[in-house]
Structure formats: structure tokens, C-alpha cells
Structure 1
Amino acid sequence: MKNSTIKLKNSQQRYPSFLAIDFETANYYRDSACALGLVRVENCKIVAKESFLIRPPSQWFVFTDLHGITWEDVKDAPTFSELWPDIKKYFRGVDFITAHNAPFDRSVLMKCCERYRIEPPQKPFICTMQLSRSFWGFEYYRLNDVCDYFSIQLNHHEALSDALACAKIMIKTLKSGYLLRGK
């Protein structure tokens, strides 16, 4: 992704607004989202955060050991399609979307939108995992490693906690000059 595609909406705004996201999936299929964490940031301040359980298209759960979510937890939750009217507002007006391992979260978002014939948000993605390697130069760049380095609390594989950690990493990165130095 070319960072030059990110344009600030308001010349008075010092930092871009963004949405940090984290999906948890039930199984190996990218449209099997079972949880979503969203954290909206404007001018390096967290202004909204929310998490949702999602009923995936199938009862097949493989990753319960990672995130602790079972079919019983989500069987009465809304599908991604039913949830979309409540979450699309988070994507409006942001300059970019960020996630730790953004290719994964972007693919889950795109596959869920494709499954339910929803027009996906047309926003650039910035990966905090990639930034941890390239901008910060970390040798270990898994989310828990980066959070340990920055002393960010993390309940790993809990969608809101992961999204909140990602938002905090991006805030630290922006305040350290990323994008402002023309990167």
C-alpha cells in the first residue's frame, strides 16, 4: 500500500483519523467472522470502541482454543449482514483502517462483505505488524510482543482488546512521525 494515498480531510487536523479493527474467525474460511472489535481514533484520541459477536455461516468452529468463542456463544448473535447497519458508521470519514496483520483482517472484511453482497469500505489499510518491523525495527513483531515493548495491556485474541492495542500502537507510531515525515 502506498501511504501517499492517505489524504487528511481537514487541514486543521494534525493527525489522520482511523479505524482499528480485529476479527476473530470460527474456522479457516475468511467469511467465518465470529467476533469483531472496532476502535475509532481521531487526532490520536480514541473516540469510540465497541465489540460484537457475529454468527458465522456455519457451526464449524476450529479456533475456539485461541479465542474461546463457541457456536453456543454466537448462535443467537446477528450475522455480519445483520450487523452491518450498526458498524458501517465506524468506517465513515476515516482516512484509513489499521489492523495487526492487516492482510488477514482486510480479507475477512472483504469476504464477509462479498458473502452478503455488501459494498466494502474503500479505505486503505495500514498494517501495524508491518510497521513494527519496518518503522520501529522490532525483531519480534507479534501483537503480544509489541504490546509488551510498549507496555500496552492485552487480552490476546479478544477482538476489542486486540483492536484497542492496535489503535494504541498506531497512535504511538503517528506521534513518532510516521506519515508526517512524508513516509
Structure 2
Amino acid sequence: MPVQPSDCPIRDFRFAGIDFESAGASRGRTDVPVQIGLAWWSCSEGHQAPFVSFLASDAPITWSARKVHGITDEDVVGAPRLLELWPTVKRYLGQSVVVAHGKGTEKRFLRAFPGHGFGPWVDTLLLARSAWPELKDHSLSAICDSRGLSDRIAGMIEDKTWHDALFDTVASLVVLEDIVQEFGLSDLPLSHLTHPDTSRWHRLRHG
């Protein structure tokens, strides 16, 4: 399913979710990914092809990062490096609209593939702020709890929880699906997702 022109309706696109978990930042050291999750969703085909892998890292996982995601140095022993997963990453993200919750980390780690050209991007953090600006917390778990989506995600990704890369990837796609359905966006242009209006959220936050 190739990426359509941006004025095509949302229902014509395939969306590829991505999430990274990292080793954690420390003084004098650049943060690196230690787990990647990928999955697809589209209006016509639903949720498909969940993929998750630990990633080898030369940097030890910090205590603070382990406390968040529970990944240990032992978990990543023998795992592929991110660059080794280029064929998989390209298969998921190429010809798809890329989705992440707070896309900065994902875009940063994907710089490992110079000139990859992935995109356009949909940030479900910005979408949620536009859709429900009155919420006090727009973290992925808080949004899913407030929308009654968390149990559904847990049923889709068994034996996983928040801050597992695949769990968070699927959660971001479920949030996207929820927004498209709640606001009847499927026949509208993709720009409604790539450039959401967050002005009301900003007014509430700074008012």
C-alpha cells in the first residue's frame, strides 16, 4: 500500500507505528535504543503484523531506564544492532505514514539510517492534545486509560505492559484509530492528522 498524495482521504493510507526504548542518558554518553516495536494499522485492514526486537548496545542500560522499561543488559545480549534491522524497518516504514507518540525520540534514533526518507509523520501526542485538550495528562497510558482503551491493548499484546516497545507502538495506533473514528476523520485529508490544531490546548495550559 504506497503512500498516497497528502490530499487523499485518511482511509486510503497505511499507518506504521514505531516505538523505541533506550539505554538511558548519562553524562558524556549519547542515549541509544535497546528495543524497537513496529506494527501497521489502516482503516480497511485494521491492526496487523506486530514486530518487536531487543537491540544490541555497547552502552550499559542505566538504572533509571531499567526502572522504567525493565530491560536489562542480559536481555540485549545477542540481539541484532539497529542497522542490521534495516530491511525490516524499511518494510514497515517505507510507503507508510509513520506514527509515534512524541515523535522526537523515534526520529532521532532513525537517523542511524541516513537519508531514509520515512514519513510523513503523525504524532499521537499532538493529536491527543488537539482532540482532548482538557485532559491534564496526555501521556500514552493516561490517554488510553481515559478513553477505555488500555484493556483492549493488553488483550492485543499479551504479557506486555507500558514501556515495552511493542505495547507502546500498538497503543499509539489504537489511539490514532480511536481519534479517526471518534471525530469521523476517515474521509478527510491526511493533513488533519499531520498538522493538528493544538491552539486550544496551549490556551488552557497557559491561560
TM-score by length of 2: 0.73
Give the Cα separation in 2 of the matches to 1:97 and 1:67. 23
The match for 1:43 is 43
Work out whether 1:130 is the aligned partner of 2:130: no
TM-score by length of 1: 0.81
Give the Cα separation in 2 of the matches to 1:64 and 1:17. 33
Secondary structure at the aligned position of 2:62 is classed as: coil
The match for 1:160 is 166
1:51-70 superposed matches below 5 A:
51-62=52-63, 63-70=65-72
The match for 2:140 is 143
Give the Cα separation in 1 of the matches to 2:137 and 2:31. 29
Contact 2:51/2:166 (8 A) holds in 1: yes
1:88 Cα deviation after fit: 1.7
Secondary structure at the aligned position of 2:56 is classed as: coil
Give the Cα separation in 2 of the matches to 1:165 and 1:72. 26
The match for 2:87 is 85
Secondary structure at the aligned position of 1:14 is classed as: helix
The match for 2:11 is 14
Q: 1:179 to 1:105 in 2, by over 3 A?
A: farther
Listed one character per residue, the Cα deviations across residues 134-162 of structure 1 (whole Å, up to 9, x for unaligned) are 12323321111101012222511011110
Give the Cα separation in 2 of the matches to 1:24 and 1:7. 33
Give the Cα separation in 2 of the matches to 1:160 and 1:64. 17
Contact 1:40/1:90 (8 A) holds in 2: yes
Contact 1:67/1:158 (8 A) holds in 2: yes
Contact 1:37/1:163 (8 A) holds in 2: yes
Contact 2:19/2:106 (8 A) holds in 1: yes
1:179 Cα deviation after fit: 6.8
The match for 2:104 is 103
- Structure with the greater alpha carbon radius of gyration: 2
Work out whether 1:170 is the aligned partner of 2:166: no
Secondary structure at the aligned position of 2:11 is classed as: coil
Alpha-carbon RMSD across the aligned residues, in angstroms, is 2.3
1:103 Cα deviation after fit: 1.7
Give the Cα separation in 1 of the matches to 2:11 and 2:88. 28
1:106 Cα deviation after fit: 1.5
The one-letter code of the counterpart of 1:55 is: A
Contact 1:26/1:33 (8 A) holds in 2: yes
The one-letter code of the counterpart of 2:164 is: E
Gaps of 5+ in 1: none
Contact 2:23/2:34 (8 A) holds in 1: yes
* Alignment size in residue pairs: 170
1:16 Cα deviation after fit: 2.0
Contact 2:11/2:186 (8 A) holds in 1: no
